[in-house]
Chain A
Amino acid sequence: MLIEVFGPGCAKCETLLKHAKHAAEQSGRIVEVVKVSDYAAMAQRGILSTPALAIDGVVKSQGKVLASSDILDLIQK
């Protein structure tokens, strides 16, 4: 499973990245968490507001700092 966190590097994006990593550890699965800060990549994925989070290529949330528990729910779905 792949989790992508999109954001240019503002404080909110870092928080979301931290939450995503935490959720990945908690889930007990093999989850790779990557940070995407390239604007062109964000544009290609149709992301309008950051921070955004995608799981296995599907954008799940935009402009929100999800809590670790929310991300865990998304992973386990």
Chain B
Amino acid sequence: MAGEQTPEKGSGMCCGANAPAGPGFFRKGGWLLVALPAWVAAYLSAHPLSEWIAFRLLRLVPKSHLGEAVAFFFYDVPKVLLLLTLIVFVVTFLQTFVSPTRVRNTLSRHREGIGNGLAALLGIVTPFCSCSAVPLFIGFLRAGVPLGVTFSFLVSAPMVNEVALGMLFAMFGWKVALLYALTGVAIAFVSGFVLGRMRMEGHLEGWVQDALKAPALGDMEEEHPSPAERITASVQGVKDIVGKVWPYLLAGIGVGALIHGYVPQALLAGLLGKQAWYSVPLAVLIGVPLYANAAGVVPVVEVLLGKGAALGSTLAFMMAVIGLSLPEVVILRRVLRPRLIAAFVGVVALGILLVGYLFNALL
């Protein structure tokens, strides 16, 4: 990608000799001024380039199944990768302001209700990886964050994925993005509140209950990085996330391209359309066992919507794929006994179903 090479070039030009010590403009983020126009140029050329590859270079017939699938693939790959790079950069930059430590300190000062709302909102932006779910879960509880509030966070953090949110915004506009964020936050708020009311503290694993008997930990020190450190962290975030996500993305776009080129519109509209009462549960049933990276789901969503699937069913599908996943359940089983796990999955799945039906009925 064009943007990746500019930093080296830039730093070589302006501050070669005293690079490590010198507070060079380019090293501090000035290279962004070069990278951004390069990004825009690459983005704008994606569509003509894809048609050139599919119809000129490969000599496929326009409007044929294969031709449309291939053109879609070569259009979507650079487009989605470029969007992902930009969005991850912005999001990681913002995330340097909301560390889990800060969220923990904030949430420990609030009761249920307000706490659930805050947890659901903070879950959108907090950096979260499901392999950190267990330490985070216990850390929150030990800081005195109520169980229900912790669950609100645990539902919102993966389900309202900041990268997916950014990509929905870039590809479908603010309405779909807002809808996704609001409904995700609502599900997290309500299911955390309900789980809190169920008083299931006794269904935590024994060693967790023991750990909680220790005196509560006070506030922990928060980090305060400098602007240049934040930019460095963002570049690192792009390398980490884009480096990890691209196979999922290619797979997602590949599946999307096949559906785009081959699956007849009537079939999908029939299965996932508004008229079919079973479309929402079907979407959730397909979505839960599927484990895909949030960014990989968006190309599939793009195609489903284009082929006449209803928005509610599609949202439900997307939330089920990224919000409830088998690996996460396996990880959480380390801290939650089966009944609490079942309640967790059940309440969240119910929330997703309701959202699906609501939007199919409203829109």
- Residues of A participating in the B interface, judged by any CB pair closer than 8 Å: 6-8, 10, 12-13, 39-40, 42-44, 46-50, 62-63, 65
Contact = CB atoms under 8 A, between A and B. Distances in A.
Contacts of B100: 48-49, 62-63
B57 interface: no
Candidate in B101, B135, B210 with the most chain A CB atoms within 10 angstroms: B135
B214 A48 contact: no
A39 B101 contact: no
Given A49-B100, A62-B100, A63-B100, A40 B211 contact: yes
A49 B134 contact: no
Given A44-B211, A46-B142, A10 B334 contact: no
B330 to A, nearest CB: 11
Interface string B317-347: 0000000000000010011000000000000
Interface in B138-152: 138-140, 142
A12 B132 CA distance: 11
B127 A8 contact: no
Given A39-B334, A39-B335, A62-B101, A44 B214 contact: yes
A12 to B, nearest CB: 8
B132 A63 contact: yes
Nearest to B220: A46
Interface residues on B, range: 20 to 34
A46 B108 CA distance: 14
B5 to A, nearest CB: 21
Interface in B217-266: 217, 220, 240
A7 B335 CA distance: 16
B136 interface: yes
A44 B101 CA distance: 15
Contact of A50 (B101, B135, B208, B334): B135
A43 B142 contact: yes
Q: Which 4 A-B pairs have the closest CB atoms?
A: A43-B138, A10-B131, A48-B139, A49-B132
A43 B334 CA distance: 13
A40 B217 contact: no
B207 A48 contact: no
A48 B134 contact: no
A49 B135 contact: yes
Given A48-B132, A49-B128, 15 more contacts: A13-B131, A42-B134, A42-B138, A44-B214, A46-B139, A46-B217, A48-B100, A48-B104, A48-B139, A48-B140, A49-B136, A50-B131, A62-B101, A63-B100, A63-B132
Nearest to B103: A48
A7 B138 CA distance: 14
Contacts of B127: 49, 63
B99 interface: yes
B126 to A, nearest CB: 9
A30 to B, nearest CB: 28
Nearest to A6: B135
Nearest to A9: B131
User: Which of B132, B139, B140, B142 neighbours the largest number of chain A CB atoms within 10 Å of its CB?
Assistant: B132
B338 to A, nearest CB: 18
